[in-house]
Amino acid sequence: MAQSLTHGETALPADWRDLFALTKPRVMSLVVFTALCGLLAAPVSVHPVLAFSSILAIALGAGASGALNQWYEAGLDAKMKRTANRPLPAGRLDPQTALQFGVGLAAFSLFLMLFASNWQATLLLAVSILFYVFVYTMWLKPRTPQNIVIGGAAGAFPPLIGWVAATGSIAPLPVMLFLLIFLWTPPHFWALALFMRSDYAAAGIPMMPVVAGEKSTRRQILFYALIMAAAAIAPWPLGYTGALYGWTAAILSALFVVLSVQVGTRTTGEGDLMQPEKRLFAYSIAYLFILFGAIVADHWWPL
């Protein structure tokens, strides 16, 4: 367990920057962006204040999930170079403060969503927070190499919640966006896991490269990239989006598959710099940003 910054009987109050870091701001940026795209792609107009408040609620919900994840994984984070400097393992924050902050933020995010939007979006937000904390963080992640596959559902909720916040109901397009992020998550995280393999092994997390080996992970990256590409392009032929999104999805997904083929078909030796894996990981982030931007552009300025 992390050591807190205590001086005898008196604990130093947590620095707000450490509380902010607990919310995983970089992950939150992707959540906010995909939620905003889901909301803007909906076929109704939303009052700007209510739209802003709904997105804020989703961002706070994601921040709460990140905080509770870091609270639960403080011990594991201390064993990995990438995460050892987080506020809890580094001892800058008291675990009790992190837990209270996470639970309080989650409750507030649900209250704000209910006040600004509707109960359907609030219910989805609650399910996504509970799924991330209990199903992914506590149950799947330490137990199975399929953790990323099923846990990816938690990260796939934001565009669905954004859409439901705007319309009050679920439609095929946001479900397809959910599916897109769900299928995008395995190649994205396994590319990271390939070049961070020793870190995950040191922490005892059963990530795919640690348990099934590199060869199997590379094959599965390629497999998921192919079905993800099909899911990304599908809204176009099915008539839910126009050509602007369709062509963007086709071109970007083809490049995703090319990069995945490079990762999926290679073997590495001692001292390999893992450049193709790092390239795929970086590209996968840009891919999702551009594709969701294209969904909105296609809705507002169709070709």
Partner 1 sequence: MTDEPNQEPFDEAEYRRRQRSRANLMAWMLGALAILFFFITIAKMQIFS
Q: Could you give the string, one character per residue 102-141, with x where binding to partner 1 holds by CB under 8 A and - elsewhere?
A: -------------xx-------------------------
Per CB under 8 A, 53 contacts partner 1 = yes
Per CB under 8 A, 239 contacts partner 1 = no
Name which of 50 and 126 has its Cβ closer to partner 1: 50
Q: Could you give the string, one character per residue 10-29, with x where binding to partner 1 holds by CB under 8 A and - elsewhere?
A: x-xxxxx-------------
Site for partner 1 in 56-95 (CB under 8 A): 56
Name which of 91 and 142 has its Cβ closer to partner 1: 91
Per CB under 8 A, 1 contacts partner 1 = no
In the chain the first and final C-alpha atoms are separated, in Å, by 56
CA dihedral 88, 91, 96, 99 (to 10 degrees): -10
Per CB under 8 A, 4 contacts partner 1 = no
Looking at this protein, which amino acid is placed at residue 292? Answer: F
Site for partner 1 in 219-238 (CB under 8 A): none
Of 291, 29, 268, 277, nearest to 184 by C-alpha is: 291
CA dihedral 285, 151, 129, 117 (to 10 degrees): 60
Name residues whose C-beta falls within 8 Å of residue 88's C-beta, 6 or more positions apart in sequence.
2, 22, 70, 71, 74, 77, 95, 98
Strand ranges in the chain using DSSP code E only, listed in sequence order: 6-7, 10-11
Name residues whose C-beta falls within 8 Å of residue 104's C-beta, 6 or more positions apart in sequence.
none
Cβ-count burial of 49 within 10 angstroms (0-12 exposed, 13-18 middle, 19+ buried)? exposed
Name which of 1 and 49 has its Cβ closer to partner 1: 49
Which position among 1, 7, 267, 269 is part of the footprint of partner 1 (CB under 8 A)? 7
- Minimum CB separation of residue 56 from partner 1 in Å reads 8
Per CB under 8 A, 8 contacts partner 1 = yes
Residues binding partner 1 (CB under 8 A):
7-8, 10, 12-16, 47, 49-50, 53, 56, 115-116
